[in-house]
Amino acid sequence: MGRSLLEEMVELAKETMADNVKICDGSAKEFEELTQKMLADRALIALNPKTYPGCFLHRSAPHDVARTEKVTFICTRKKDDAGPTNNWMDPKEAGEKMTSLFRGSMRGRTMYVVPFSMGPVNSRFSRLGIEITDSPYVVLNMHYLVRIIPATRLSSEEPKDIMYGLHSLGDLSPEKRFIMHFPETNTVASIGSGYGGNALLGKKCFALRLASYIGRDEGWLAEHMMVLGLEDISGRITYIAGAFPSACGKTNLSMLASELPGYKVWTVSDDLCWLHVGADGRLWAINPESGFFAVAPGTGPATNPNMLAAVKRNTIFTNIALTPANEPWWEGIGTEAPEGLVDWQGRPWDKSGPAAHPNARFTAPFHQCPSASPEADKPNGVPISAIIFGGRRADTVPLLFEAFDWQHGMFLGLSIASETTAATTGEIGVLRRDPFAMLPFTGYNMADSVRHRLEVGAKLSRPPKVFHLNLFAQDDEGKYLWPGFKENIRLLKYIAERVHGEVSAKETPIGLVPNGYGIQIDEAQWEKEAVLLDTHLESLGNRLPEEMWEELAELRKRFGWY
């Protein structure tokens, strides 16, 4: 029998020919040494120590600023196991390609070995991982985003249970950039990018793509969901998870600063969660991460004051603009751009484009956020009473409605979409379906993931209620119907009251709609939507559970179309 892929990956790590190897321990001393080295190499700029203590700016290569889905692959032996929504490559072919790209790729560099836990260190739901990288920027980010553990802890784990990742910046050329996932052997190989989602393997690669595959086999779910706890006047906390496609307000909602007297939002996660079926028949969530890696532009005092407070110290900023006082600046921060601003590429800002890159980021430790939930590190997680699937639609889909049951809720999750507007792309109404907000993050066949969600639901004696939220519905003049931001607390309050059976809802063909919000359902638009959903379901192939087609037929029946 040939060598296992894992053995081949270890061999591959040796072949990178790194000058030296450093086993990381996550200590403050290590952080200090790395920042000193990066400051000397001009890979970091120290920000104003009085106003932004412990903060640094990193500028990436200008062509390496976002996740690259085109070169992200799921390499399963059978193509059908990756499914119609993923790029696929045969694992042998992918392995060979990566071997040749990694050979000598770390020459002249240090190889950092970072052992870590995803999830609270003492939780039975956590997973151990190891990332080998030649990027000190990656290591710094990992100090905040995952819990780095002593390397010796890895030996207490079955090697096959460890998520193993090899990353190299390579020469950063887009033609030689690949993010290869091998879910059947729990490994990832990524080369050619230093950008977060491509290079911080703990985040999307491990915590979603590999973990979703593991969760399918073990009966749990890895989701692209924020988690918050809504505390009400009586002190009762209702935990709500929410999956929204990118740029649909997930992070802001998870940290909402409530102005409703007696109500408070506690943040458990702003991006990811792992959901397990508890002995009590409820779904329990942990946050596999321990920090935030979030988009800066648009974060300001009105949209997310908690995040602004979280990034005032010990934060790594990437691709933001810099003021003459050595402070970070981005569009939407809430202050006028000062004279003498330097743009994200280090040039004097000439106002011809944005000063900060639209995908500029900050990386900060979780507990710096004033709304961080004290329950976030609980080994068993928090019990989820409601799940929100969020979309971005100008018409058809109203502000808020509730699924009739879990299966209908999964149909809503399968259908979520975000629609571009003239303001963002110049093209109106381009609809991108993003099932469960997991389109780029599911490590196996999306249709099988629907079956798995139905199976998990069948094990829940107290399933969460499922809601669909669309904060972006517009009137005929293109004006948003819902003010959003601080008003969203009223929607969370409504959801919690539905969970506890304290308010009624109106039954309509699309689901249960809140009373008193002036919600209208436009039948003609829904007739078109049903046709679009035919195409969407079709596109997921014949492994899609029949139940989803039944849900679509039921929708038509409830409208009385046949």
Tokens describing residue 397: 């889909």
Give min distance, CB of 245 to ligand OXD, in A: 8
Site for Mn ion in 360-419 (CB under 5 A): none
β-bridge pairing 87-88 and 72-74: parallel
Q: Give the residue with the Cβ less far from ligand OXD, 323 or 363.
A: 363
Q: Report the partner that residue 181 touches, choosing among Mn ion, ligand OXD, none (CB closer than 5 to 8 A by kind).
A: none
Residue 131 interacts with which of Mn ion, ligand OXD, none, CB < 5 to 8 Å by class = none
Considering only the stretches 267-275, 326-334, 483-491, 535-543, report the one whose residues sit in contact with Mn ion under the rule CB under 5 A: 267-275
Question: Angle at which helices 446-458 and 406-415 pack, to 10 degrees?
Answer: 160
Measured from the CB atom, the residue of 258 and 318 that comes closer to Mn ion is 318
Give me the residue label for tokens 């990118």.
Answer: 246
Q: Is 166 helix (H, G, I), strand (E, B) or coil?
A: strand
Instruction: Choose between 81 and 223: whose C-beta lies nearer to Mn ion.
Output: 223
Q: How far is the CB of 224 from ligand OXD (least distance, A)?
A: 7
Burial class (CB in 10 A: 0-12, 13-18, 19+), 485: middle
Work out how close the CB of 202 gets to ligand OXD at its nearest, in angstroms, rounded to a whole number.
12
CA distance 302 to 533: 36
Q: Which does 177 bind (CB under 5 to 8 A by kind): ligand OXD, Mn ion, none?
A: none
The runs of H, that is alpha helices, within 103-237 are 136-145, 196-199, 211-218
Cβ proximity to ligand OXD, 67 vs 216, nearer residue: 67
User: Which residues in this chain contact ligand OXD in the complex, by CB under 6 A?
Assistant: 67, 197, 246, 271
Query: Which among Mn ion, ligand OXD, none contacts residue 197 (Cβ within 5 to 8 A by kind)?
Result: ligand OXD
CB-CB contact of 148 with 25 (8 Å): yes
- Whether 75 sits among the annotated catalytic residues: the reply is no
Is residue 434 a contact point for Mn ion (CB under 5 A)?
no
User: For residues 272 and 533, which CB has a smaller minimum distance to ligand OXD in the complex?
Assistant: 272
Residue 404 neighbours by CB distance under 10 Å: 17
The Cα–Cα gap between 89 and 180 comes to 9
Minimum distance from residue 197 beta carbon to ligand OXD (Å): 5
- Determine the size of the site formed for Mn ion (CB under 5 A): 1
67 binds, among ligand OXD, Mn ion, none (CB under 5 to 8 A by kind): ligand OXD
Q: Closer to ligand OXD by CB, 91 or 197: give it.
A: 197
Nearer Cβ to ligand OXD, position 223 or 271? 271
Neighbouring-strand partners of residue 29? none
Separation of alpha carbons 12 and 361, rounded Å = 31
Contact status, residue 291 vs residue 316, Cβ threshold 8 Å: no
Active-site hit among 24, 75, 205, 248: 248
CB of 43 to ligand OXD, least distance (A): 21
Q: What is the CA radius of gyration of the chain?
A: 23
Asked if 285 and 381 touch (Cβ cutoff 8 Å), the reply is: yes
Is residue 8 involved in binding Mn ion (CB under 5 A)?
no
Is the Cβ–Cβ distance between 386 and 240 less than 8 Å?
Answer: yes
Between 197 and 457, CB nearer to Mn ion: 197
* Count of CB atoms situated within 10 Å of the CB of 254: 29
Whose Cβ is closer to ligand OXD: residue 274's or residue 482's?
274
Give the pairing type, strands 127-133 and 163-168. Answer: parallel
- Least separation in angstroms between CB 70 and Mn ion: 18
CB of 146 to Mn ion, least distance (A): 15
Q: How far apart, in whole angstroms, are the C-alpha atoms of residue 199 and residue 178?
A: 11
Long-range contacts of 245-248 (CB under 8 A, 24+ apart): 245/390, 245/391, 245/392, 245/416, 245/417, 245/418, 245/432, 245/434, 245/437, 245/439, 246/418, 246/437, 247/295, 247/392, 247/418, 248/390, 248/391, 248/392, 248/418, 248/471, 248/472
The total of other beta-carbon atoms located within 10 Å of residue 84's CB is 15
We find the least distance from the C-beta atom of residue 434 to ligand OXD, in angstroms, to be 10
Q: Which stretch binds Mn ion (CB under 5 A): 14-22, 270-278, 394-402, 407-415?
A: 270-278
Cα–Cα dist 271/136, whole Å: 24
User: 143 vs 361, which CB is nearer to ligand OXD?
Assistant: 361
Binds Mn ion (CB under 5 A): choice among 134, 223, 231, 271: 271
Stretch that binds Mn ion, among 33-41, 91-99, 209-217, 269-277 (CB under 5 A): 269-277
Q: Which partner, Mn ion, ligand OXD, none, binds residue 474 by CB below 5 to 8 Å per kind?
A: none
The answer to whether the beta carbons of residues 179 and 202 sit under 8 Å apart is no
Residue 319 Rama label (left phi>0; alpha psi -120 to 50; beta): left
Q: Whole-number minimum distance, CB 420 to ligand OXD, in Å?
A: 17
Whether the CB-CB separation of 284 and 126 falls below 8 Å is answered with no
DSSP 323-339: -TTS-EE-TTSSSPPPT
Residues 212/213/215/218 CA torsion (nearest 10 deg): 180
Q: CB 181 → Mn ion: shortest distance, Å?
A: 16
Which residues are at the interface with Mn ion (CB under 5 A)? 271
Q: Could you give the residue numbers annotated as active site? A: 248
